[in-house]
Structure 1
C-alpha cells in the first residue's frame, strides 16, 4: 500500500501472508527529518541507495548501502536524510510474534519472557544486507514470486542475521536501587498514558525529587517522562488503527487533544499519517 503524500516522501507498507508478525516497508525520502520516536517492534533497515543518519543513546551513525541498521523494541531514536540528499531503503518490522517465530526456529532455548535479541546498532555487512534486500524484494506486494520461494528467501536471510548477530537474553544481575525506581516510573507511565500525569505524582511514587527523577529518566531511557508518555500514546494509537478504529476515536482514547494533534505527531514520527496507516491491509 502506497502511503506517500503528493510531493512528499514515497513510502509503501504491506504485510505478506507467508510471514508471522512482520510488516514490510519500502521508502524513498528526499530532504527529511524524523522526530525522536520509538517502535514496539524490532526494526531492520537495509539501505539501497543514498544514506540516512540515525541518532540513538549510543551516538550517531550513517547507514548507507551494504549496511543493516537495527533498532530494538522501545529504543528511542531520531534521524534525517544524510546531508539532505536522498535515502532509499527497505525495512522489516518484527513484532513479538515475529520474534517468537524466529526464536522457535533459530534459538529453541528462547522463551516468551526472554525473546531472541538482535543487538541494536549499525552492521556493515554487505552479504547480509544483500540477502535481506533479496528476501524483502521477493515479498513485495506487487511481486509474483511463489510462496515457497518467498519463504525460502526469508528464512535464509533471517538465518544469517540470527546466526551472525543474534543472542538469547541473559538474566540481568542485581539492578541498582535507583534504576528499579526509574523502571517503576516507566511502567507507571505506560499503564496510565491516557491521562496527563503530573511529575509530582511520579516523584511521590518512588520517593525522588522532580528534578532528579526527570534527569535520571532521561539518562536511562533517552527522553523525559512526558515525552515517553507521548510515544506510548502513539504506539497505542497504532494498535487501535490496526484494529480498525478511526483516527478520531484513537486520538480520544489514548489521550491526545484531538485528531489533528495525533495526525501531526504520528506523521512526524513515522513519516505518514494515521489514515494511511489504518488502510494497511495484509498481503496475499
Structure 2
C-alpha cells in the first residue's frame, strides 16, 4: 500500500551542463495555491497531467496537457491546482544568459539590451508541448541519454518555440513614455529593495504624484511598488539560499523583518519552505 502523503508537493530542480542559462524543474502538487509572485527568468511550463489555473494581470487561464504556459521575467502571477486535482508539470527557467543563447542562434538581430522575447501567455500547442517535454525528460536521464542527443532535443524544442512565438524586443516598437517611467521605478526598487523606500522618493524620481505613480505601476506590472519590492526580496533570498546561506541570514540581508516572515511569504509564493528549497540538490 502506498502510504506517502499526496498532499505534500514534490519538487526537483537541477541544471544540465549541456545548456546555457537554464534551470529545469519537475513538480507534483496536490491541492495547493500559489500566492502572487514573480521570477527573474522566463518560465516555460508544460503540464503532463492534471491542470493548474494561473492568474496574471491579463486574466485567468487553465493549463492542462498539450499546453505551454509562459511567464515573462518580472511578470506577477498567482495560481492554484485546478479544481483540487493533482498537477504534474515540467518547467524550464531561462535567465538572461539562456535567452541570449537562444537569440544568438534563432534571432541574430537581437542584442543584449533587447533580448529575444517569448510573449507571456497560454499556448495550446500539443506538438510544441510534446517536443518540450521530450527535451526536458532527456535532460534528467544523464546516464542513458548522450550529450549530443540531449542537445539535439533541446535545440529542436527551442527552435519550434522561437520559430512559432518568438519576437525580438525591437519588433515591439518603442515603449510608451509612461511605461518607460514605470521601468525606471522598477529598476530603482530592484536596486534598493533591502531598505524601506518611501513612495514620495519614487514619485520624485519620475516626476509623478504618489497616487498616479501607484496607479500606473499597478497597471503596468500588476502590483503596487511595495509588493514588487517584496517579490524582489524573495528572489534575492532564493539566490542566497542557493548559494548556501541560512534562511535567517538571507532574511536579514534582503530586508525581511525576521526568518518567520521570510518562511511565510516564501511558502505562499513558491509552494515550499526556504529550508526545502535550500536542500534541493543541483543536477550534473
Report the count of equivalent residues: 284
- The offset of 1:152, in angstroms, is 1.3
TM-score normalized with structure 1 length: 0.92
- The offset of 1:4, in angstroms, is 11
- The offset of 1:62, in angstroms, is 0.7
The question of whether the paired residues in 1 share the 8 Å contact of 2:51 and 2:88 is answered with yes
Cα distance in 2 for partners of 1:75, 1:238 equals 17
**CA shift digits 1:86-105 (9 cap, x unpaired):** 21111001111111111111
Q: Secondary structure at the match of 1:171?
A: helix
2:155 corresponds in structure 1 to 155
- The offset of 1:143, in angstroms, is 5.4
**CA shift digits 1:170-206 (9 cap, x unpaired):** 1665655444433322222111110111223323333
Q: 1:277 to 1:139 in 2, by over 3 A?
A: same
The question of whether the paired residues in 1 share the 8 Å contact of 2:12 and 2:280 is answered with no
The question of whether the paired residues in 1 share the 8 Å contact of 2:13 and 2:283 is answered with no
Cα distance in 2 for partners of 1:278, 1:240 equals 9
Q: 1:3 to 1:103 in 2, by over 3 A?
A: farther
Q: Secondary structure at the match of 1:53?
A: strand
**CA shift digits 1:98-142 (9 cap, x unpaired):** 111111111122111111111111111101100111111111157
TM-score normalized with structure 2 length: 0.92
Q: 1:220 to 1:2 in 2, by over 3 A?
A: farther
Aligned-pair RMSD on alpha carbons? 2.9
Cα distance in 1 for partners of 2:82, 2:10 equals 17
Q: 1:147 to 1:3 in 2, by over 3 A?
A: farther
Q: 1:33 to 1:2 in 2, by over 3 A?
A: farther
The question of whether the paired residues in 1 share the 8 Å contact of 2:7 and 2:31 is answered with no
The question of whether the paired residues in 2 share the 8 Å contact of 1:48 and 1:89 is answered with yes
The question of whether the paired residues in 2 share the 8 Å contact of 1:4 and 1:272 is answered with no
The question of whether the paired residues in 2 share the 8 Å contact of 1:2 and 1:13 is answered with no
Cα distance in 1 for partners of 2:204, 2:280 equals 42
Segments of 4+ in structure 1 off by > 6 A? Answer: 1-6
Cα distance in 1 for partners of 2:7, 2:17 equals 31
Cα distance in 1 for partners of 2:2, 2:253 equals 27
- The offset of 1:245, in angstroms, is 2.1
